[in-house]
Amino acid sequence: MVVPTYARLRTLLRSIQSLEEQTLPDFEILVVDNGSDPSVEGAVRAANQNARIPVCYIPEPRLGLHYARNAGVRAAEGDILVFTDDDATFDPGWLAAYADAFAAHPEMVAAGGPVRPVWQVPPPQWLLDYIGDAKSFGILSLMEPNQDFRLDGYFFGVNMAVRRSVFEWAGFHPDQFETRIIGDGESGLNSDIVRSGGLVGYVPNAIVYHHIPPERMTISYIRKWAWHLGGSQMYEHWWKRQRRLPSLVKEGFAIVRRYRREWLKDPFVRLRRDQESIEIQFQASLGWSKLAYVWWMLTDRQVQAALDIADFRP
Protein backbone atom coordinates (compact mmCIF):
# COMPACT_ATOMS: atom_id res chain seq x y z
CA MET A 1 0.00 0.00 0.00
CA VAL A 2 1.84 3.08 -1.31
CA VAL A 3 0.73 6.65 -0.48
CA PRO A 4 2.84 9.41 -2.06
CA THR A 5 2.48 12.77 -0.34
CA TYR A 6 3.62 16.31 -0.93
CA ALA A 7 2.81 19.21 1.42
CA ARG A 8 -0.62 17.92 2.50
CA LEU A 9 -0.10 16.68 6.05
CA ARG A 10 -3.69 17.09 7.25
CA THR A 11 -5.23 15.08 4.42
CA LEU A 12 -2.43 12.50 4.66
CA LEU A 13 -3.27 11.82 8.31
CA ARG A 14 -6.94 11.40 7.35
CA SER A 15 -5.94 8.83 4.74
CA ILE A 16 -3.73 6.96 7.19
CA GLN A 17 -6.58 6.76 9.70
CA SER A 18 -8.88 5.36 7.02
CA LEU A 19 -6.27 2.74 6.07
CA GLU A 20 -6.09 1.61 9.69
CA GLU A 21 -9.79 0.69 9.42
CA GLN A 22 -9.29 -1.81 6.59
CA THR A 23 -10.72 -5.28 7.17
CA LEU A 24 -7.75 -7.01 5.51
CA PRO A 25 -5.81 -8.39 8.49
CA ASP A 26 -2.27 -8.03 7.19
CA PHE A 27 -0.77 -5.46 4.82
CA GLU A 28 1.88 -2.75 4.81
CA ILE A 29 1.46 1.03 4.55
CA LEU A 30 4.26 2.96 2.89
CA VAL A 31 4.09 6.77 2.98
CA VAL A 32 6.50 8.24 0.45
CA ASP A 33 7.28 11.86 1.32
CA ASN A 34 8.05 13.58 -1.98
CA GLY A 35 9.89 16.48 -0.42
CA SER A 36 11.24 14.92 2.78
CA ASP A 37 9.37 17.24 5.15
CA PRO A 38 10.44 16.65 8.79
CA SER A 39 6.90 17.43 9.97
CA VAL A 40 5.56 14.51 7.94
CA GLU A 41 8.07 12.10 9.41
CA GLY A 42 7.24 13.30 12.92
CA ALA A 43 3.50 12.99 12.32
CA VAL A 44 3.90 9.45 10.99
CA ARG A 45 5.99 8.50 14.00
CA ALA A 46 3.30 9.88 16.33
CA ALA A 47 0.54 8.06 14.44
CA ASN A 48 2.43 4.79 14.78
CA GLN A 49 2.20 4.89 18.58
CA ASN A 50 -1.41 3.69 18.44
CA ALA A 51 -1.48 2.11 14.97
CA ARG A 52 -2.77 -1.39 14.23
CA ILE A 53 -0.72 -1.33 11.03
CA PRO A 54 2.49 0.67 11.50
CA VAL A 55 3.30 3.14 8.73
CA CYS A 56 6.68 3.00 7.07
CA TYR A 57 8.01 6.49 6.25
CA ILE A 58 10.08 6.74 3.05
CA PRO A 59 11.73 10.05 2.10
CA GLU A 60 12.06 10.79 -1.61
CA PRO A 61 13.68 14.21 -2.05
CA ARG A 62 13.56 14.15 -5.86
CA LEU A 63 10.41 16.07 -6.75
CA GLY A 64 8.18 14.18 -9.13
CA LEU A 65 5.21 11.90 -8.51
CA HIS A 66 6.78 9.06 -10.50
CA TYR A 67 9.88 9.22 -8.28
CA ALA A 68 7.64 8.84 -5.22
CA ARG A 69 5.65 5.96 -6.67
CA ASN A 70 8.75 4.12 -7.86
CA ALA A 71 10.36 4.61 -4.44
CA GLY A 72 7.31 2.88 -2.99
CA VAL A 73 7.70 0.01 -5.43
CA ARG A 74 11.33 -0.48 -4.41
CA ALA A 75 10.49 -0.50 -0.70
CA ALA A 76 7.34 -2.64 -0.81
CA GLU A 77 7.49 -6.32 0.07
CA GLY A 78 4.15 -7.60 -1.23
CA ASP A 79 3.25 -9.20 -4.54
CA ILE A 80 0.27 -6.88 -5.08
CA LEU A 81 1.10 -3.19 -4.84
CA VAL A 82 -1.81 -0.83 -4.26
CA PHE A 83 -1.45 2.92 -4.83
CA THR A 84 -3.54 5.89 -3.81
CA ASP A 85 -3.26 9.63 -3.16
CA ASP A 86 -3.02 11.49 0.11
CA ASP A 87 -6.44 13.15 -0.31
CA ALA A 88 -8.48 9.93 -0.34
CA THR A 89 -10.26 7.71 2.15
CA PHE A 90 -11.38 4.15 1.61
CA ASP A 91 -14.17 1.66 1.99
CA PRO A 92 -13.17 -0.72 4.81
CA GLY A 93 -13.16 -3.64 2.36
CA TRP A 94 -11.04 -1.85 -0.26
CA LEU A 95 -7.82 -3.85 0.11
CA ALA A 96 -9.67 -7.12 0.77
CA ALA A 97 -11.58 -6.65 -2.50
CA TYR A 98 -8.31 -6.35 -4.41
CA ALA A 99 -6.78 -9.32 -2.59
CA ASP A 100 -9.78 -11.51 -3.48
CA ALA A 101 -9.86 -10.34 -7.10
CA PHE A 102 -6.18 -11.00 -7.76
CA ALA A 103 -6.41 -14.42 -6.10
CA ALA A 104 -9.45 -15.34 -8.21
CA HIS A 105 -7.95 -14.02 -11.45
CA PRO A 106 -4.26 -14.94 -11.73
CA GLU A 107 -4.30 -13.72 -15.33
CA MET A 108 -5.03 -10.14 -14.16
CA VAL A 109 -1.88 -8.03 -13.84
CA ALA A 110 -3.42 -4.73 -12.71
CA ALA A 111 -6.75 -3.32 -11.61
CA GLY A 112 -8.71 -0.23 -10.70
CA GLY A 113 -11.93 0.38 -8.86
CA PRO A 114 -14.64 2.96 -8.26
CA VAL A 115 -13.68 6.47 -7.17
CA ARG A 116 -16.58 8.34 -5.58
CA PRO A 117 -16.63 12.00 -4.56
CA VAL A 118 -16.77 13.39 -1.05
CA TRP A 119 -17.73 17.01 -1.54
CA GLN A 120 -16.28 19.15 1.23
CA VAL A 121 -18.89 21.79 0.44
CA PRO A 122 -22.01 21.40 -1.72
CA PRO A 123 -20.89 21.48 -5.36
CA PRO A 124 -22.26 24.20 -7.65
CA GLN A 125 -25.04 23.12 -9.95
CA TRP A 126 -23.07 24.02 -13.08
CA LEU A 127 -20.39 21.50 -12.06
CA LEU A 128 -22.94 18.74 -11.49
CA ASP A 129 -24.44 19.56 -14.90
CA TYR A 130 -20.99 19.43 -16.50
CA ILE A 131 -20.32 16.01 -14.96
CA GLY A 132 -23.81 14.88 -15.97
CA ASP A 133 -24.21 11.11 -16.05
CA ALA A 134 -20.59 10.47 -17.07
CA LYS A 135 -19.30 7.19 -15.72
CA SER A 136 -15.77 8.59 -15.69
CA PHE A 137 -14.76 12.20 -14.96
CA GLY A 138 -11.01 12.54 -15.13
CA ILE A 139 -10.92 16.17 -14.00
CA LEU A 140 -11.75 15.04 -10.45
CA SER A 141 -10.49 11.44 -10.85
CA LEU A 142 -13.99 10.05 -10.42
CA MET A 143 -15.22 6.87 -12.02
CA GLU A 144 -17.68 4.03 -11.59
CA PRO A 145 -18.20 2.61 -15.06
CA ASN A 146 -19.69 -0.76 -14.11
CA GLN A 147 -21.39 -2.63 -11.32
CA ASP A 148 -19.68 -5.95 -11.97
CA PHE A 149 -16.15 -7.27 -12.36
CA ARG A 150 -14.53 -6.80 -15.79
CA LEU A 151 -11.19 -7.66 -17.36
CA ASP A 152 -11.18 -4.66 -19.66
CA GLY A 153 -10.76 -2.02 -16.99
CA TYR A 154 -8.46 0.93 -16.36
CA PHE A 155 -7.28 2.85 -13.33
CA PHE A 156 -6.77 6.34 -11.98
CA GLY A 157 -3.81 7.06 -9.74
CA VAL A 158 -6.00 7.44 -6.66
CA ASN A 159 -7.13 3.80 -6.92
CA MET A 160 -4.87 1.30 -8.65
CA ALA A 161 -3.34 -2.07 -7.91
CA VAL A 162 -0.50 -3.69 -9.85
CA ARG A 163 1.26 -7.05 -9.60
CA ARG A 164 4.92 -6.69 -8.66
CA SER A 165 5.90 -8.72 -11.73
CA VAL A 166 4.80 -5.80 -13.94
CA PHE A 167 7.59 -3.67 -12.50
CA GLU A 168 10.18 -6.12 -13.77
CA TRP A 169 9.61 -4.62 -17.23
CA ALA A 170 7.58 -1.45 -16.71
CA GLY A 171 7.19 1.48 -14.34
CA PHE A 172 5.45 4.79 -13.82
CA HIS A 173 6.06 7.37 -16.50
CA PRO A 174 7.17 10.90 -15.58
CA ASP A 175 4.26 12.86 -14.21
CA GLN A 176 4.00 15.87 -11.96
CA PHE A 177 7.01 17.99 -11.01
CA GLU A 178 5.84 20.41 -8.32
CA THR A 179 2.99 22.26 -10.10
CA ARG A 180 3.76 21.13 -13.67
CA ILE A 181 2.68 17.93 -15.34
CA ILE A 182 5.11 17.04 -18.10
CA GLY A 183 4.34 13.34 -18.59
CA ASP A 184 1.53 10.82 -18.70
CA GLY A 185 2.17 9.16 -15.33
CA GLU A 186 -0.01 6.19 -14.45
CA SER A 187 -1.97 6.46 -17.71
CA GLY A 188 1.30 5.72 -19.50
CA LEU A 189 1.78 2.64 -17.32
CA ASN A 190 -1.80 1.58 -18.05
CA SER A 191 -1.16 1.93 -21.78
CA ASP A 192 2.11 -0.03 -21.55
CA ILE A 193 0.31 -2.88 -19.78
CA VAL A 194 -2.47 -3.03 -22.37
CA ARG A 195 -0.04 -2.83 -25.31
CA SER A 196 1.90 -5.75 -23.85
CA GLY A 197 -1.27 -7.85 -23.73
CA GLY A 198 -1.73 -7.58 -19.96
CA LEU A 199 -5.24 -7.69 -18.52
CA VAL A 200 -6.44 -4.79 -16.37
CA GLY A 201 -9.42 -5.57 -14.18
CA TYR A 202 -12.21 -3.45 -12.78
CA VAL A 203 -13.01 -4.44 -9.18
CA PRO A 204 -16.37 -2.90 -8.20
CA ASN A 205 -15.95 -3.44 -4.45
CA ALA A 206 -12.53 -1.75 -4.30
CA ILE A 207 -14.04 1.64 -3.50
CA VAL A 208 -12.08 4.82 -2.87
CA TYR A 209 -13.52 8.18 -1.82
CA HIS A 210 -11.83 11.22 -3.32
CA HIS A 211 -12.21 14.31 -1.16
CA ILE A 212 -13.00 17.36 -3.32
CA PRO A 213 -12.19 20.74 -1.72
CA PRO A 214 -13.94 23.95 -2.80
CA GLU A 215 -11.00 25.14 -4.89
CA ARG A 216 -11.47 22.16 -7.22
CA MET A 217 -15.11 23.09 -7.86
CA THR A 218 -14.14 26.08 -9.99
CA ILE A 219 -13.65 26.98 -13.63
CA SER A 220 -10.07 27.92 -12.86
CA TYR A 221 -9.40 24.36 -11.66
CA ILE A 222 -10.97 22.90 -14.79
CA ARG A 223 -8.72 25.12 -16.89
CA LYS A 224 -5.72 24.08 -14.80
CA TRP A 225 -6.56 20.39 -15.25
CA ALA A 226 -6.90 20.92 -19.01
CA TRP A 227 -3.43 22.47 -18.96
CA HIS A 228 -2.09 19.38 -17.19
CA LEU A 229 -3.86 17.11 -19.66
CA GLY A 230 -2.13 18.91 -22.51
CA GLY A 231 1.26 18.06 -21.05
CA SER A 232 0.26 14.42 -20.64
CA GLN A 233 -1.01 14.14 -24.21
CA MET A 234 2.05 15.82 -25.66
CA TYR A 235 4.33 13.51 -23.71
CA GLU A 236 2.47 10.47 -24.97
CA HIS A 237 2.79 11.73 -28.55
CA TRP A 238 6.46 12.78 -28.45
CA TRP A 239 8.01 10.20 -26.12
CA LYS A 240 11.17 8.75 -27.73
CA ARG A 241 10.43 10.54 -31.02
CA GLN A 242 13.02 12.70 -32.73
CA ARG A 243 12.39 16.35 -31.96
CA ARG A 244 14.05 18.27 -34.75
CA LEU A 245 13.24 21.95 -35.16
CA PRO A 246 11.20 21.56 -38.39
CA SER A 247 8.96 18.90 -36.84
CA LEU A 248 8.39 20.99 -33.72
CA VAL A 249 7.57 24.09 -35.78
CA LYS A 250 5.12 21.99 -37.78
CA GLU A 251 3.56 20.76 -34.55
CA GLY A 252 3.19 24.32 -33.30
CA PHE A 253 1.36 25.41 -36.46
CA ALA A 254 -0.90 22.34 -36.24
CA ILE A 255 -1.83 23.27 -32.65
CA VAL A 256 -2.64 26.84 -33.68
CA ARG A 257 -4.89 25.59 -36.47
CA ARG A 258 -6.65 23.14 -34.16
CA TYR A 259 -7.35 25.52 -31.25
CA ARG A 260 -7.52 29.00 -32.81
CA ARG A 261 -11.35 29.07 -32.72
CA GLU A 262 -11.43 28.24 -29.01
CA TRP A 263 -8.76 30.85 -28.29
CA LEU A 264 -10.81 33.52 -30.09
CA LYS A 265 -14.02 32.58 -28.24
CA ASP A 266 -12.44 32.06 -24.83
CA PRO A 267 -12.31 35.71 -23.64
CA PHE A 268 -16.02 36.13 -24.32
CA VAL A 269 -17.22 33.10 -22.33
CA ARG A 270 -15.07 33.38 -19.19
CA LEU A 271 -18.03 34.34 -16.99
CA ARG A 272 -20.45 31.77 -18.41
CA ARG A 273 -21.19 28.42 -16.79
CA ASP A 274 -23.17 26.60 -19.47
CA GLN A 275 -21.61 23.39 -20.73
CA GLU A 276 -20.67 24.78 -24.14
CA SER A 277 -18.83 27.74 -22.60
CA ILE A 278 -17.01 25.51 -20.10
CA GLU A 279 -15.91 23.23 -22.91
CA ILE A 280 -14.59 26.18 -24.91
CA GLN A 281 -12.53 27.27 -21.89
CA PHE A 282 -11.31 23.71 -21.37
CA GLN A 283 -10.20 23.34 -24.98
CA ALA A 284 -8.57 26.78 -25.02
CA SER A 285 -6.48 25.92 -21.96
CA LEU A 286 -5.63 22.52 -23.44
CA GLY A 287 -4.40 24.19 -26.62
CA TRP A 288 -2.25 26.75 -24.82
CA SER A 289 -0.70 23.93 -22.81
CA LYS A 290 0.22 22.01 -25.94
CA LEU A 291 1.73 25.11 -27.52
CA ALA A 292 3.76 25.76 -24.38
CA TYR A 293 4.95 22.14 -24.47
CA VAL A 294 6.42 22.68 -27.92
CA TRP A 295 8.49 25.49 -26.43
CA TRP A 296 9.50 23.30 -23.50
CA MET A 297 10.69 20.60 -25.88
CA LEU A 298 13.00 23.19 -27.39
CA THR A 299 14.23 24.85 -24.21
CA ASP A 300 13.49 22.86 -21.03
CA ARG A 301 16.08 20.25 -20.07
CA GLN A 302 13.73 18.58 -17.59
CA VAL A 303 11.15 17.99 -20.32
CA GLN A 304 13.81 16.88 -22.78
CA ALA A 305 15.21 14.36 -20.30
CA ALA A 306 11.75 12.99 -19.50
CA LEU A 307 10.98 12.46 -23.18
CA ASP A 308 14.22 10.52 -23.67
CA ILE A 309 13.63 7.97 -20.89
CA ALA A 310 13.61 4.50 -22.40
CA ASP A 311 13.33 2.35 -19.27
CA PHE A 312 10.73 3.18 -16.61
CA ARG A 313 11.50 0.30 -14.27
CA PRO A 314 11.90 1.43 -10.64
Residues 6+ apart with CB under 8 A from 242: none
**3-state secondary structure at position 93:** coil
Among the listed residues 171, 175, 178, 157, the one whose alpha carbon sits nearest the alpha carbon of residue 63? 178
The confidence score (pLDDT) of residue 38 equals 86
HEC profile of 176-244: EECCEECCCHHHHHHHHHHHCCCEEEECCCCCEEEEECHHHCCHHHHHHHHHHHHHHHHHHHHCCCCCC
| Per-chain mean pLDDT for the chain | 95
Percent of the chain with pLDDT over 70: 100
The confidence score (pLDDT) of residue 178 equals 67
Mean pLDDT of 57-75: 93
Residue 129: C-alpha distances to residues 67, 114, 188, 211, 276 (Å) = 36, 20, 30, 19, 11
Question: What's the pLDDT band for 153 if we cut at 50, 70, 90?
Answer: confident
Mean pLDDT of 96-114: 98
Neighbouring C-alpha atoms within 13 Å toward the C-beta of 263: 12
Q: In sequence order, what are the beta bridge partners of 177?
A: 180
Inform me whether the pLDDT recorded for 85 exceeds 80.
yes
CA torsion angle for 237, 238, 244, 245 (degrees, to 10)?
Answer: 70
- CA dist 185 and 231 (Å) reads 11
Q: Which helix (H) or strand (E) holds 19?
A: helix 9-20
pLDDT tens per residue, range 33-63: 998 788 999 999 999 998 999 999 999 998 8
Backbone phi, psi, residue 136, to 5° = -145, 130
Mean pLDDT of 298-308: 93
Inform me whether the pLDDT recorded for 311 exceeds 80.
yes
Mean pLDDT of 1-25: 95
pLDDT tens per residue, range 157-216: 999 999 999 999 999 999 887 677 899 999 999 999 999 999 999 999 999 999 999 999
Q: What CATH code would you report for 2-216?
A: 3.90.550.10
**3-state secondary structure at position 249:** helix
Inform me whether the pLDDT recorded for 124 exceeds 90.
yes
pTM to 2 decimal places: 0.94
- CA dist 277 and 50 (Å) reads 51
Inform me whether the pLDDT recorded for 234 exceeds 80.
yes
